[in-house]
Structure 1
Amino acid sequence: MNSIPLNKGLATRVNLRRRIVDITTVMCSFCDEYEKSVDHLFTACSVAIRVWAAVSAWCNIPPIFAFEFKDLLDIHNSLQMGKKAKKLILGLVIISCWCIWKCRNELVFKQSRRSLQDILAEIKSRGFGWVKNRSSCKNISWKERCKYPMYML
């Protein structure tokens, strides 16, 4: 079975144009300054940059800078942390990407723009559910998790 790399398979405007889908514009829905590719949407768009800055500050880790989408999926490997902490960071990166994509879809399909605080609140909420239900940390506190996501380590 052949797998399509995410940067080619995700239905961004650039990928839709490549597939000869008639679309009115290939510009990014958030910033309207650059063509919306996977790399732009998740790493270079002003919305994504602000999300990564907020996630970095919340996690108390060095700022997350990525040039390509694959860099985001490897960011946890560059951190000087234990295995559990790296797994938490990778999970938060994946959740953050999902929240950015969901926010983009709400803008495109519902003309609803969400604030950075709304996006970060959803990342925290989804991250809390993921950790509480998928790890040995069943007794984590929502209040403490919101202050610092890795307090239980």
Structure 2
Amino acid sequence: MYIVQVAETECPLCRSSSETVDHLFLHCSWSWEVWSGCMQWWGVNSCPNNLIKDWIEGWNGLCPSMNRKGVWNILFFTVVWTIWEARNDLVFKAKEANISLSMDWVKFRVAWWFKTHGCGSEDALTLLLLDIKERCVDKDHKNKSRSGVWDPPVDDELLFNVDGAAKGNPGMSGVGGVLRDARGRILCLFSLFLGFRDSNSAEILAIHKACQLIASKPSLADRTVTLKLLLHGPRGSNSFADSLAKAGSRRQGDRIEWGDL
């Protein structure tokens, strides 16, 4: 077992200040980047309180909508737990504290909590990298516009939504995709960093990567798989792949995950 050697009172995540409860969970630059990123899912910007107890007490007041209080409160404790886990993994396992990966874990844990406690829809686990504020909320979505709803494939077919994104044209780019069956189960997802490219190249490479992944699995050889790439207009039903591609453009380490085929 490897143990990171740091000064007894030094914060292992930023190594720039003494490790106290208030610093670790609130003022550490690494931890605050996780907080800021999660709050931005709701379009919320804030400055940290001096004390973590004040941050807890004022958290509800930052929620932008009453019907999102449930998931907002869960988010708070999920971020705290994820920061603590990242800190311990670094100290006791020498495991790199990766901000983008930690934020992915936050989304997964929020979705899992909702599914476990019966507060979310049956496909709650597909929130792994979805826009939580639009999907995991305390209200009925019967009136939600169909333009933002994922359309499942028919019968035994599979649908691979893919997308490419570039921050600028050209700029730092990434690709993403998610393979799902007719029930909405995630069979594969990827989020990869490409480097400096234009958006058109990124979209072509997203299709190429999806084809590579399909070809790598013999169990998919006899399945009908449709590739879907939205070239123009609002992302709508392709929003999951879009979010994976955008995450890829700033990702530190590629992400490819397979579900049960």
TM-score, normalization by structure 2: 0.45
Residues in 1 aligned to 2:50 and 2:70: alpha-carbon distance in whole angstroms:
21
Residues in 2 aligned to 1:135 and 1:58: alpha-carbon distance in whole angstroms:
23
Displacement of 1:113 after TM fit? Answer: 1.2
Does structure 1 retain, via aligned residues, the 8 Å contact 2:78–2:106?
Answer: yes
Displacement of 1:146 after TM fit? Answer: 2.8
SS at match of 1:30: coil
Gaps of 5+ in 1: 1-22
Residues 1:63 and 1:142: Cα distance change in structure 2 (over 3 Å): farther
Residues 1:24 and 1:46: Cα distance change in structure 2 (over 3 Å): closer
Does structure 1 retain, via aligned residues, the 8 Å contact 2:79–2:106?
Answer: yes
String of CA shifts for 1:5-55, please: whole Å, max 9, x gaps.
xxxxxxxxxxxxxxxxxx952111111211101000011001111001110
Does structure 1 retain, via aligned residues, the 8 Å contact 2:38–2:103?
Answer: yes
Aligned twin of 1:63: 46
Which structure: greater helix fraction?
A: 1
Residues in 2 aligned to 1:110 and 1:73: alpha-carbon distance in whole angstroms:
29
Residue 118 (1) aligns with residue 118 (2): no
Residues 1:101 and 1:88: Cα distance change in structure 2 (over 3 Å): same
Number of residue pairs aligned between Structure 1 and Structure 2: 130
Task: Map 1:5-20 to 2 at 5 A.
Answer: none
Task: Map 1:5-44 to 2 at 5 A.
Answer: 25-44=8-27
Aligned twin of 1:95: 78
Which structure: greater strand fraction?
A: 2
Residues 1:62 and 1:137: Cα distance change in structure 2 (over 3 Å): same
Residue 139 (1) aligns with residue 122 (2): yes
Identity over aligned residues, as a percent? 22
Aligned twin of 2:142: none
Counterpart amino acid of residue 43 in structure 2: N
Does structure 2 retain, via aligned residues, the 8 Å contact 1:39–1:67?
Answer: yes
Residues in 1 aligned to 2:110 and 2:64: alpha-carbon distance in whole angstroms:
21
The match for 2:63 among 79, 91, 101 is 79
Residues in 1 aligned to 2:65 and 2:118: alpha-carbon distance in whole angstroms:
18
Counterpart amino acid of residue 65 in structure 2: M
SS at match of 2:41: helix
